[in-house]
Copies of this chain bind each other. A is one copy, B any other.
């Protein structure tokens, strides 16, 4: 019952090897992680900002791209500075660390555009812990599964609302962000819908058991 035959399995093909490698590596010094490009992209929209401010902007992207930890952002900005992709203006402060303002440099703009225009696009990375649990549903109870699913649906609804609110607050000039926001709203709608279907399937399984 809880045992799988392996007939459905083909041989183990190692895919996505060269796909993930950046095609344009050869013409740049070395590839940057995607977070770096996210930061550069943000800097093309914001003007001079501190790491702290930038983090707030980064959090607006969390609906389709996770936002990195604070320490990671500061680290990334220093790396970009070392590569002269951003310019750092420091403001001395008595008795505590300098305040650092960042702007994107021309080189940074060029590198960013190059990435946008020529870099290989990989598939999205998804780690869906709710789906994972449902997948292993045979090891738990339906009541627990329902609990997990409804909790997730509530979260998705909140995200959807936040995203809609954010879109309303945004300047209409930011067209691309609003297209992405629509995408996100649709995505959450699909998730909510999927949860409802899953709950219905659980109901169906329960009543089957009742009949037999």
Chain A interfacial positions (CB closer than 8 Å to B):
1-10, 12, 34, 37-38, 41, 44-47, 52-53, 55-57, 59-61, 64-66, 109, 112-113, 116-117, 121-141, 144, 148, 151-152, 155, 166, 169-171, 173-177, 179-180, 182-184, 186-187, 189-191, 193-194, 197-198, 201-202, 205
Decide yes or no: A194 and B183 within 8 Å by CB, A64-B128, A135-B61 being known contacts: yes
Minimum CB–CB distance from A166 to chain B (whole Å) comes to 7
A121–B148 touching, CB < 8 Å: yes
Q: Which residues of B contact A2 (CB under 8 A)?
A: 44-45
Contacts known (A8-B170, A139-B116); A34 close to B132, Cβ less than 8 A: yes
A contact patch SS: helix
CB<8 Å pairs between A and B, sample of 16: A3-B47, A5-B171, A44-B136, A64-B128, A65-B129, A66-B126, A113-B140, A116-B140, A117-B144, A121-B133, A121-B151, A125-B125, A137-B179, A179-B201, A179-B202, A182-B197
* Shortest Cβ gap from A62 to chain B (Å): 9
Chain B residue at minimum C-beta to C-beta distance from A4: B45
Additional A-B contacts beyond A41-B132, A187-B191 (7; CB < 8 A): A61-B132, A116-B133, A123-B129, A125-B125, A182-B194, A186-B197, A187-B190
Q: In this complex, which of A52, A60, A65, A144 has the most chain B Cβ atoms within 10 angstroms of its Cβ?
A: A65
Quick check: B53 and A6 within 8 Å, CB to CB?
yes
Q: Which residue of B7, B65, B126 contacts A64 across the interface (Cβ within 8 Å)?
A: B126
A155 contact from B123, B131, B133, Cβ within 8 A: B123
